[in-house]
């Protein structure tokens, strides 16, 4: 498997050509953030049971990041075992498998999660170390779909650890608590994540989730200030050549939300410009 280098630029989408930038964009944001936001939008207003499906998106989103981030740092056997478990967690869920297909399928997401948990747990038990920690993360996020209280407990334990898995577990835990209506606890976790100097989950993503919870609690000023900080930082960002960087999808959504909550405050945000002096926001 080819090694994928971590990038440190901001890009409007995963498909865009890379451009060097002084802004940090981690692989999680590039491959996952937009998918999480899209899924949350689809599920919005459709009930808690459907919202639980967001946990599956968290699992899906980390697949590429975990595979490529640690290529070459662990044994081939460990990578193969983790990759096999990941394939199980990604297997299609369908009542009628495609004719002639040899790909493994499952009839329900619960059935798939149980199979994936067994494989990830086997990886954690056999290899330990960094691969084992990631396997435990996958166990917890899959568990949310079939035994939510236990899954949350497992994420709570992992969120207390240091390193990237601890950070990712804290983010997944915050999402789960927010869905369960434990808003104060979720806000506390998001606030911790926004203070990290080198976040695994993009700060924009965390700030936007935090602002939405502030709004939900009726804390309009806190929501506006959080959105303003997010959008202002994104609007003032420059690449290594000193050129303005287009807003990411998250930053643009935050900008639209800021305008809706406080149009006057939104006017204080400087508009990023193209090299020719034309605003990106026409």
Q: Which domain holds residue 259?
A: 194-282
In sequence order, what are the residues at sequence separation of 6 or more whose Cβ sits closer than 8 angstroms to the Cβ of residue 105?
91, 92, 93, 94, 97
- 160 and 262 share a domain? no
Contact 20, 9 (CB under 8 A): yes
Cα–Cα distance list, 23 to 8, 11, 71, 89, 247 (Å)? 7, 9, 24, 32, 11
- 42 and 167 share a domain? yes
Q: Give per-residue pLDDT as tens, 237-264.
A: 888 888 888 999 999 999 999 999 999 9
Task: Write down the pLDDT at residue 142.
Answer: 94
Q: Give per-residue pLDDT as tens, 30-59.
A: 433 443 444 344 334 444 444 444 444 444
- 170 and 30 share a domain? yes
Q: Which residues does residue 21 pair with via DSSP β-bridges, in sequence order? A: 239
Q: Is residue 208 part of a domain?
A: yes
Nearest to 79 by CA among 65, 66, 92: 66
**Residue spans of the chain under pLDDT 70:** 1-74, 272-282
Task: Write down the pLDDT at residue 100.
Answer: 78
Q: Is residue 276 part of a domain?
A: yes
Contact 137, 160 (CB under 8 A): no
- 48 and 80 share a domain? yes
- 176 and 227 share a domain? no
Cα–Cα distance list, 3 to 73, 77, 187 (Å)? 10, 16, 36
Task: Write down the pLDDT at residue 62.
Answer: 52
How many of the other CB atoms lie within 10 Å of CB of 65? 22
Cα–Cα dist 66/168, whole Å: 11
Q: Is residue 10 part of a domain?
A: no
Q: Is 181 left (phi over 0), alpha (psi -120 to 50) or beta?
A: left
- Structurally, the chain folds into a number of domains equal to 2
- 116 and 201 share a domain? no
Q: DSSP readout, 98-130? A: PTT--S--BSSHHHHHHHHHHHHHHHHHHH-HH
Cα–Cα dist 21/11, whole Å: 9
- 63 and 162 share a domain? yes
Q: Is the pTM of this model over 0.85?
A: no
């Amino acid at each position: 498997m080819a090694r994928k280098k971590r990038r440190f630029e901001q890009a409007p989408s995963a498909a865009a050509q890379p451009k060097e930038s002084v802004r940090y964009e981690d692989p999680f944001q590039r491959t996952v953030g937009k998918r999480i936001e899209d899924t949350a939008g689809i599920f919005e207003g459709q009930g808690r049971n459907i919202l639980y499906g967001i946990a599956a998106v968290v699992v899906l989103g980390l697949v590429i990041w975990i595979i490529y981030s640690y290529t070459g740092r662990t044994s081939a056997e460990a990578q193969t075992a983790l990759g096999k478990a990941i394939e199980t967690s990604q297997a299609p869920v369908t009542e009628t498998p495609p004719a002639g297909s040899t790909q493994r399928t499952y009839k329900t997401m619960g059935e798939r999660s149980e199979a994936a948990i067994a494989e990830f747990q086997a990886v954690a038990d056999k290899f330990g170390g960094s691969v084992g920690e990631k396997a435990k993360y996958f166990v917890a996020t899959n568990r949310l779909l079939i035994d939510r209280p236990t899954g949350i407990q497992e994420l709570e334990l992992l969120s207390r650890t240091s390193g990237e898995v601890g950070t990712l577990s804290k983010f997944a835990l915050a999402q789960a608590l927010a869905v369960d209506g434990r808003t104060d606890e979720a806000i506390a976790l998001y606030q911790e994540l926004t203070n990290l100097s080198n976040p695994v989950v993009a700060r924009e993503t965390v700030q936007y989730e935090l602002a939405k919870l502030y709004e939900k609690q009726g804390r309009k000023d806190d929501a506006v200030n959080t959105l303003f900080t997010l959008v202002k930082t994104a609007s003032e960002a420059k690449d290594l050549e000193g050129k303005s960087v287009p807003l990411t999808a998250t930053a643009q959504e935050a900008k639209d939300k800021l305008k809706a909550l406080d149009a006057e405050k939104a006017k204080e945000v400087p508009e990023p410009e193209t090299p020719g002096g034309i605003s990106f926001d026409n």
